[in-house]
Amino acid sequence: ALGNAAPQLKVHINGALNVGVTRTEVVEIIMMMAVYAGFPAALNGMAAAKEVFSERDREGLS
């Protein structure tokens, strides 16, 4: 979620969910990212994940 990478991150989050990664696991991965990419980047990642989760809920996907 650095710079303008949010669209790509959303694609990767969707892909991960499609192959069986749980939402909880996505959130945990992003929390771990804070150590390496910094807290602001992790917050941007959480925002991207929240958008993906909302979109999938609207579409009836898990």
- pLDDT above 90 for 28: yes
- pLDDT above 70 for 1: no
Q: How many residues does the chain have?
A: 62
What would the pLDDT profile of 29-42 be if each residue is shown by its tens digit?
999 999 999 999 99
3-state secondary structure (DSSP) of residue 46 = helix
- pLDDT above 90 for 59: yes
DSSP 8-state secondary structure symbol assigned to residue 4: T
The overall pTM is greater than 0.95: no
What are the structural domain ranges in the chain? 6-57
Instruction: Output b/e per residue, 5-33; b: 16+ Cβ within 10 A.
Output: eeeebbeebeebbeeeeeeeebeeebeeb
- pLDDT above 90 for 62: no
Q: Which residues, 6 or more positions from 34, have their beta carbon under 8 angstroms from its beta carbon?
A: 41, 42
